[in-house]
Amino acid sequence: MSPSRPITMDHFDMAIPHAATSIKQMKEAGTKVVGHYCVMAPQELILAAGAVPVALCATKEEPIADGEKVLPRNFCPLIKSSYGFAITDKCPFFLYSDLIMGETTCDGKKKMFELMSTFKPMVVMNLPPSYEREADKAYWLTEVARTKKVLEEQFNVTITDEAIVSATKVLNAERRLMQRLAATMQANPVPLSGLDLLKVFWSRNFVFDRAEFAAQVEELVAELEERIAAGEGALPQDAKRIIVTGVPTGLGAEKVLRLIEEAGAAVVYIENCSGMKQFLDEVDEQKEPLQGVADKYLTTPCSCMSPNTRRLELLAQLVEEYKADGVVDITWQGCHTYNVESRVLREYLKEKHDLPFLHIETDYSQGDSQQLKTRIDAFLEMMG
């Protein structure tokens, strides 16, 4: 059966283009909006405060020139794009945000948030250096509690335990649903392209009716399960199976995923923050509400953590579950933690699986596309 695209994807094609209008209408209706850049931002607290969380623009090349008027040119493109969007009001989600929730996942972001705080209300969560030490866990809980207090003061509300529990149930159900979606990619042939999988993940940030979004993903998963049963795929059955990991690679900065699939391979899992990293774990509903939220977010296997053993173990597990033929690790230029960790990850996966591994260091421009295509083609050819 020839490769084809699920019909349900037509809806996700329209979700992001409609988002700017939706957030404007919500703002005009009096809804409070909290913008965030990272999966470390505890959305349970935002929902419990009666506000709407929205991811902020950070994956387009066009605003980088504006960002470079203030920031060093050797900063990573994600930070320059984020700041360029912010200072030009070209990101409607930043424009309509009542508060920005930041996090210290890198030194560049810390300084960017310092500059942003001069023209936008902001709370910056200071991350500990590790998710393993008890002292760091205790410290992080105090940061989550401080953020809760800032939200309460900003919006003149009281965030109750009951409200946190209610928000937790909504988000946990969403995480389970996205885990079901990702699991369909274990099939051969894959029922969905990696680019379409990324589009669904990215849409989650811009559909503000969570019940509506859940219904749409349920419909997609049902269609994918039917395709699997019928042996229908988005790519041929003999396509090489690739796991993508590394830095956030949202829409607008998806060139590496596109090049992989244009070369005939299947992206079967997107581990990045823009992919499944945010949906890996649920909040433990048996714990005290704030403690449960704190614990869930701190276990995120981000390269800012040292050591980051969880990412290594997760990738080794994913290689087996998704029957991967290779791993592609993407690093933005100037992202030092992911760049250093790439060598560690390569050696770990070689020891565990002796798997082909390709590290790509790039930026948001298209200038290196031909060079990347050549490297990706050679990488796939090496697999036989």
Judged on CB neighbours under 10 Å (0-12, 13-18, 19+), 73 is: exposed
Task: Centre a 10 Å sphere on the Cβ of residue 378 and count the other Cβ atoms it contains.
Answer: 11
Instruction: For 308-322, give one letter per residue: b (16+ CB within 10 A) or e.
Output: bebbbebbbebbeeb
pLDDT in tens, 266-280: 999 999 999 999 999
Query: What does the pLDDT look like over 119-137, one tens digit per residue?
Result: 999 999 999 999 999 999 9
* Phi, psi values for residue 248, rounded to 5°: -60, 135
In 156-193, which ranges are continuous DSSP H helix? 161-183
pLDDT tens string 142-192: 999 999 999 999 999 999 999 999 999 999 999 999 999 999 999 999 999
Q: Domains in the chain and their CATH numbers?
A: 9-157 (3.40.50.11890), 163-382 (3.40.50.11900)
Short-list 201, 263, 259, 190, CA closest to 228: 190
Those residues whose C-beta lies under 8 Å from the C-beta of residue 70, and which sit 6 or more positions away, are 83, 87, 115
Encode pLDDT of 44-70 as tens digits.
999 999 999 999 999 999 999 999 999
> What is the identity of the amino acid at 148?
K
pLDDT tens-digit readout, 339-380:
999 999 999 999 999 999 999 999 999 999 999 999 999 999
The 3-state secondary structure of 231-259 reads: CCCCCCCCCCEEEEEECCCCCCCCHHHHH
**Tokens 């705080």 correspond to what residue?**
117
Q: What is the band of 4 on the pLDDT scale with cuts at 50, 70, 90? A: confident
Q: What is the pLDDT of residues 283-342, one digit of tens each?
A: 999 999 999 999 999 999 999 999 999 999 999 999 999 999 999 999 999 999 999 999
What are the tens digits of pLDDT across the range 74-87?
Answer: 999 999 999 999 99
Res 261 pLDDT > 80: yes
